[in-house]
């Protein structure tokens, strides 16, 4: 009975995410760094709290963190270390949520039955001797969504501890660059 309930919960969640992503596809300005920064600036004293909550939960909707990190740097130019720490916490929480997703509603079992060769290949790579460097490279690449490597690691049953360290090594230098760029963009916009 609980398996059926989780299966339906998973379907409802996936439909909700699909609808939100479709809405964002037709309204991309909503998640631009400028609109996010404007939204945060309009919140006054609550802006930092809202920023923390958004960065910690954005992975649930599979929204990339880059616009949020840039918006935080623009909105809080005097607090780059705080924005960096919030970004790091967002990476860890987001990684955990996405890493845990494959088993939610038995979605991993469905994919393993539907694509056995591809899943076996991913498992081999993510459990092989180069798994650490695959995760670092994947997380460091600005063209590839970081959440995807967490999802693949979850499907491949790579341990969370083995995934999170290389993920942070790859992701946090990018966050540092984004925060620096966002602060500079913020200063330029305030001139």
pLDDT of residue 142: 76
Query: What pLDDT is recorded for position 19?
Result: 75
Predicted confidence (pLDDT) per residue in 84-110, tens digit: 999 888 888 888 887 877 666 566 676
Could you give the residue ranges of the DSSP H alpha helices within the chain?
2-26, 33-41, 47-57, 66-75, 80-100, 107-114, 116-127, 131-140, 146-155, 160-190
Tell me the pTM. Answer: 0.66
What's the pLDDT tens digit per position in 144-175? 777 778 888 888 888 888 999 999 999 888 88
Query: What average pLDDT does the segment 37-59 reach?
Result: 80
Per residue in 106-130, pLDDT (tens digit) is 666 766 777 788 777 877 888 888 9
Over range 74-82, report the average pLDDT: 84
C-alpha to C-alpha distance for 81 and 85, rounded to whole angstroms: 6
What is the predicted pLDDT for the residue at 155? Answer: 80
Q: How far apart are CA 6 and CA 26, in angstroms?
A: 30
């Amino acid at each position: 009975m609980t398996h059926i309930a989780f299966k339906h919960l998973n379907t409802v969640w996936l439909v909700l995410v699909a609808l939100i992503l479709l809405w964002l596809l037709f309204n991309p300005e909503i998640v631009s760094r400028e609109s996010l920064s404007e939204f945060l600036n309009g919140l006054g004293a609550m802006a930092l709290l809202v920023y923390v909550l958004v960065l910690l939960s954005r992975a649930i909707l599979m929204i990339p963190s880059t616009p949020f990190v840039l918006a935080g740097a623009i909105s809080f130019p005097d607090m780059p270390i705080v924005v960096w720490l919030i970004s790091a916490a967002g990476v860890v929480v987001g990684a955990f949520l996405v890493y845990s997703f494959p088993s939610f509603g038995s979605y991993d079992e469905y994919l393993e039955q539907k694509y056995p060769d591809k899943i076996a290949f991913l498992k081999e790579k993510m459990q092989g001797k180069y798994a650490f460097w695959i995760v670092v490279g994947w997380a460091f690449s600005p063209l590839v969504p970081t959440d995807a490597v967490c999802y693949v690691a979850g499907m491949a049953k790579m341990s969370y501890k083995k995934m999170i360290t290389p993920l942070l090594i790859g992701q946090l230098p990018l966050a540092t660059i984004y925060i620096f760029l966002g602060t500079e963009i913020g200063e330029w916009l305030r001139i």
